[in-house]
Structure 1
């Protein structure tokens, strides 16, 4: 690797259960998996605003958590891209911290994912097919995230990358790259330059500049 490349890191948008409440969502007849709520209307709008912000950037690879809210976020982001769009790679290693999930986690199936966004790279081989056990804490996914991010960067040594994940896993990405846990709000953007296989420079983290409504982004859920 001889040239710097960019890593864009985005948390999913506002969840439906953030609006109607977790109990109401769980009791809803539309609730198939209590730990896999879809985006709210606002969440979809937030994701579109991320897409507008990133639409002028050169992005070659998109890796996304298999949870519905992340795939919906990716679909809205990519809907703002013109011309040839990068394929969406579903990576379970970017999934939610397991302490916040059912056992097993209630992520979307590949069939459901393709219904949300048909342009999925079905030949992609994930870093993790089955997630390993994790300590019951917000930073419990730290080891998994370190393996995921380092493996992806090694497999794809050139080209700009967009990662779409969750609050705690993204905080763990920051921990892996910069040695500090750093939580982020919904549909905020992180911008990182990789200057060598082991050298990273932080340009932005938890950036809200692109969002028309910067309030109540759930960036302090610890």
Structure 2
């Protein structure tokens, strides 16, 4: 379902949130991997569920525009993060005391659409996934139909074509991963220029996007559910084509970095907004 030129963006700007997943269980319970059937694909810890839901609540309360689409990495921790954020964004009755999707009695399924995107996946190399935990045959067994079934019925847009048609091969280069993140963010933005997007990805996806659009930022630190917001102006030309300006990083939350333009002594500083 492509965006239509006459709908969705009212103020002439496209907004994109690029967000890291919540707290993963193997970083909280190190022994989890010793008995896990899929040690390369840890779920969220309970605190991660709460953090993701609370992040959705914060986004809902602070932004003055709707989120139209959510694109998510096929790794379980990202799927679960997206589910919690979507529950908070789409809750019919907003309860300020709600802690997770379990506290949401009903959601508005017309609020947004969701789709899985291989290009938002984790770095497929030992930098991000320890070699001893990766599947020996290189098959990460990410079953898209099972993952899609985790979202509320009717929210998954099955008509969406992935930018990356398959999972990157194991042992992709760091530079190749960086290029992938840059390409997929740009491609999704261009595919849906009249819609505001939320991309749920990994540490690398957030930090690469930050460095691509905020050239003076280095030495990134991205907390669980840390995010940056990109914004660009969208213009309709007389010939019916969409023209757009370059994205700018307008806010960040849970993201720390060094700004090369600012003389500081500490190696990393936090800024929100950027």
- 1:214 aligns with none
Is 1:92 equivalent to 2:118 in the alignment? Answer: yes
Pairwise CA RMSD: 2.5
**1:60, 1:160 within 8 Å by CA — same for their partners in 2?**
yes
- 1:115 aligns with 149
Q: Distance in 2 between matches of 1:63 and 1:144?
A: 15
For structure 1, list consecutive stretches of 5 or more residues without a partner in the other structure: 209-218
Larger relative contact order, structure 1 or 2 (CA cutoff 8 Å, min sep 6): 1
> More strand by proportion, 1 or 2?
2
1:5 counterpart SS class: strand
The 5-angstrom pairing of residues 23-42 of structure 1 reads 24-28=31-35, 31-42=36-47
User: Deviations for 1:83-102, whole angstroms, at most 9, x for unmatched residues?
Assistant: 33311110010000112243
User: Deviations for 1:7-42, whole angstroms, at most 9, x for unmatched residues?
Assistant: 112110000101111xx22222xx232111000000
**1:10, 1:190 within 8 Å by CA — same for their partners in 2?**
yes
Which moves more between the two structures, 178-187 or 69-78?
Answer: 178-187
TM-score w.r.t. the length of structure 2 is 0.67
Which moves more between the two structures, 50-59 or 71-80?
Answer: 50-59
Query: Which structure has the larger Rg over C-alpha atoms?
Result: 2
**1:195, 1:201 within 8 Å by CA — same for their partners in 2?**
no
Count of aligned pairs between the two proteins = 204
**1:93, 1:131 within 8 Å by CA — same for their partners in 2?**
yes
**1:7, 1:161 within 8 Å by CA — same for their partners in 2?**
yes
2:224 counterpart SS class: coil
1:124 counterpart SS class: coil
1:187 counterpart SS class: strand
User: Deviations for 1:145-185, whole angstroms, at most 9, x for unmatched residues?
Assistant: 11111111111111211110000122111233233554411
Change (3 A) 1:47 1:173: same
The 5-angstrom pairing of residues 10-89 of structure 1 reads 10-21=19-30, 24-28=31-35, 31-56=36-61, 57=63, 58-80=66-88, 81-82=90-91, 83=108, 84-89=110-115
- 2:17 aligns with 8
Q: Distance in 1 between matches of 2:37 and 2:118?
A: 19
